[in-house]
Structures are given as C-alpha cells and as structure tokens.
Amino acid sequence: MHPEVSGNEHATQQYLLDLLSKLDTDKTEQVAGTGILIHFNGKASGKNIMFRGDIDALPIEETNEFDYRSKTKGVSHKCGHDGHTAIAYGLCRHFSANRPEQGNVYVLFQPAEENGRGAAGVEMSGVLDELQIDLVFALHNVPAYPLHTIVCREGSFTPSVTTLIAYFKGYTSHAAEPWHGRNPAKAMSKYLVESLTYNMEQKERHEFVTVTPAHMELGELSYGVSAGEGSVHLTIRADSNDRLREVLEDVRKAGTRLADEEELAVSYEEQETFESNQNAAEAVSIIQSAAKQLGLAYHDKDEPFRWGEDFGLFTNRIKGAMFGIGSGEDCKPLHHPAYDFPDEILGNAINMFITIQQKAQL
C-alpha cells in the first residue's frame, strides 16, 4: 500500500528494519543506500548461501480497487516486489527460529532493481567481498504459468539489456534556410531505421537481439528554427552479454558513420544496464531437487525470458541461479496497471528457499 520507486525506498527500509529488529539475527546492516543485508550464522561450517528479494516499486498508476491498493499516486508494485520482500522476510523469520545446520545464510533486501542500479550498488559497497558466498539464489513471480510451478533453465535465464542514447549535434539555422545549418533529422532517421536491422531471432539456438525505439527528441518548439541537435534512445537486449556488446558496437559505428555523412558530431551514453542472468548447472540442479522434494511442478524453460534482471550481476560473479514461481495463468502481466501479486504462492516460495539452502549442503 506504500510503494516507493527505485532508490527512494526509505520508508520501506525503515518498515523492514522495524520488523527485522524483532527477530533473532546475527547481524543487520544497511547496504546500497536503502537496502538491508541480514546475517544468520550456521551451527557448523558449510556452503554460504545468499538469497535476494527486491523491494522497489514502479512509476505506474494502479487501476485495481481492492482495499490494499497503492495509496501513492502514480506508484505501485506492478512487478510483485512487495511479494518478493514478504518472501525474504518469511525466510528471515524461519532462520531466526531455526539457525542453518551448515553454512551461513545471508538475506539481501535489495533496492533499485527496476533501474538496474541496486545490485551494482551492493557490489560497489564492498559488503559482499568478505562474506565468501558460495551460491546465490533469487526468484521472480511469473504470470501465465500455473500457480506454484517452478520455472528455470541452465544458462541465460534473463537477457543482457541496456538503453543506448545517441546524441546528434549540428547547429541551427533559420527554418527558411536550412542549408545554412546542420539539422540532424536525416541522420537520426537513418540511424533509427538502420538500428532496427540488427533485430535477430535464431529460435532453434535460442539466440536473439531485440532493438526497441524508446524515445526521440529533436530541436525545440520554435517553428522558425531548423533544429541543431537531437537524440535517439534505443533499448537493446540480447541473450548474452557478449552478443549485446557486439550489437552495441555495430549500432554505434552506424551512428558515427551517418553523423559523419551529415557533418554532425555524435556521442553515446548507456543507461539502465542489466547483465544477462547466467544460471549455473549446479544451482539449477539444486532448484530442481528442492521442487521435487516439495512436490511442486517443474518447468524447464526452453529459452530465456525477455525482461532484464539486475540479479545477473551476481550470477556473473558468484555461482547461482534465478528461478520463477508461477503466479497463475490468469494473473495480469508484469508491469500491467491491474497486476496483483498472488499471496497464495508465498508459502511455497519461502519453502523453496529453505529447501535450497538444505540441498546446497549435500
């Protein structure tokens, strides 16, 4: 009911700190500004496991009318991170009463997943450097799959994503004499069209590149002036980090060539970058075993999801995996204004994490 967008989860953090202060934890520390890392020391040595729950909301006006709808205008939990937070808290409540038999457990309440800055903030804080984490796990609720179904795959689970902004700069002139200026409209138009030619889909190999025009800006609202600068914003995603880097280089070269042809300057900026989430075979095997023990259906996904997830930063540095838990065939899609997290999956989601921790020690 009180959602906060990425990087502004101050009240959320305080609410969680108040709840967590009532539990028996070994250490509670604030990380990445508005995040929290909880420590539970095991009774004996073993593999150290970190579980992540994200806590941020989205700048989306909710259209649901139930009693617990968002009270913050223009902001709501349309990705289910409130549910993920509840799962992480439930996990903390379990280990508060039942310390791990082997290995330490760390529960990360991570901010700013939606803009890709949260995991990076945790890494930059250095808090993970001294913990010797052996495996990392996270989950995401997934609409369109039956309730409680565990969805996973080895390798790429979510793609590598970035927003590439190309700034084209010429100079203005009178609109009646555009030849006296350098209007970037032609170069920008060609750049936009050419960038779309890099879209690629190799379904049999589950390889893809998706280029999506997100925003364009040209000149000012002054009709007597021929524009002198503009920008093109492209969201680009690929099944792997390497493939994304390759297509980014190609798109940049195209923009530079087109700018040169029109005697323009061009510069580039990347925003909201997400690394591809790479699921390790060992971690996926543990997830499969946990689902089997709990009697939950398991779906081996044949291709990656297409949405970005900054948990990929962790799985590219520490062995681990992300999996999905079905939120129902009739559940609205993620980021839909009428989406609603299904509370009935909370118990099985918590039990999956608990069982994963146990299976990881075998």
Total Cβ atoms within 10 A of residue 250? 15
Which tokens sit at 33?
């500004």
Percent of the chain topping pLDDT 90 = 99
Query: 208 pairs with which residues across the strands?
Result: 201
Of 287, 270, 294, nearest in space to 117 by CA: 270
**Is residue 159 within 8 Å of residue 238, measured between CB atoms?**
yes
pLDDT-based confidence at residue 2 (cuts at 50, 70, 90): very high
Q: Is residue 184 within 8 Å of residue 230, measured between CB atoms?
A: yes
Residue type, 260: D
**pLDDT tens, 201-246?**
998 888 999 999 999 999 999 999 999 999 999 999 999 999 999 9
Query: What is the rounded distance in angstroms from the CA atom of residue 21 to the CA atom of residue 93?
Result: 11
Which fold is adopted by the domain 160-273? Alpha-Beta Plaits (3.30.70)
The whole-number pLDDT of residue 68 equals: 97
Q: How far apart are CA 120 and CA 135, in angstroms?
A: 18
Structure confidence at residue 168 (pLDDT): 98
User: pTM of the prediction?
Assistant: 0.94
Half-sphere exposure of 30 (CA within 13 A, CB side): 12
pLDDT at 203: 87
Backbone angles phi, psi at 165, to 5 degrees: -110, 120
Q: Which residues of 320-338 are buried (b: 16+ CB within 10 A; e: fewer)?
A: bbbbbbbbbeebbebeeee
Where do the CATH 3.40.630.10 domains begin and end in the chain? 10-156+277-360
Question: Quick one: tokens of 5?
Answer: 């967008």
Residues 6+ positions from 126 with CB-CB distance below 8 Å: none
Q: What is the largest CA-CA distance in the chain?
A: 80
| Cβ–Cβ under 8 Å, residues 94 and 101 | no
The confidence score (pLDDT) of residue 199 equals 98
SS (H, E, C) 287-321: HHHHHHHCCCCEEECCCCCCCCCCCHHHHCCCCEE
pLDDT, tens digit (0-9, with 9 covering 90-100), for 117-145: 999 999 999 999 989 999 999 999 999 99
E strand intervals along the chain: 27-31, 35-40, 49-54, 105-110, 135-142, 150-152, 155-158, 160-169, 173-174, 200-202, 207-218, 225-226, 229-238, 265-274, 277-279, 298-300, 320-326
Q: Report the DSSP beta bridge partners of residue 263.
A: none
Please give the mean pLDDT across all residues of the chain: 97
Burial class (CB in 10 A: 0-12, 13-18, 19+), 211: buried
Third-level CATH fold of 10-156+277-360: Aminopeptidase (3.40.630)
Closest alpha carbon to 111 in 101, 96, 121: 121
The angle at the Cα of 340, spanning 335 to 342, to the nearest 5 degrees, equals 125
CATH 3.30.70.360 domain range(s) in the chain: 160-273
User: Mean pLDDT over residues 277-306, rounded?
Assistant: 97
Residue 177 has pLDDT above 90, yes or no: yes
Nearest to 305 by CA among 194, 202, 153: 153
Per residue in 59-107, pLDDT (tens digit) is: 999 999 999 999 999 999 999 999 999 999 999 999 999 999 999 999 9
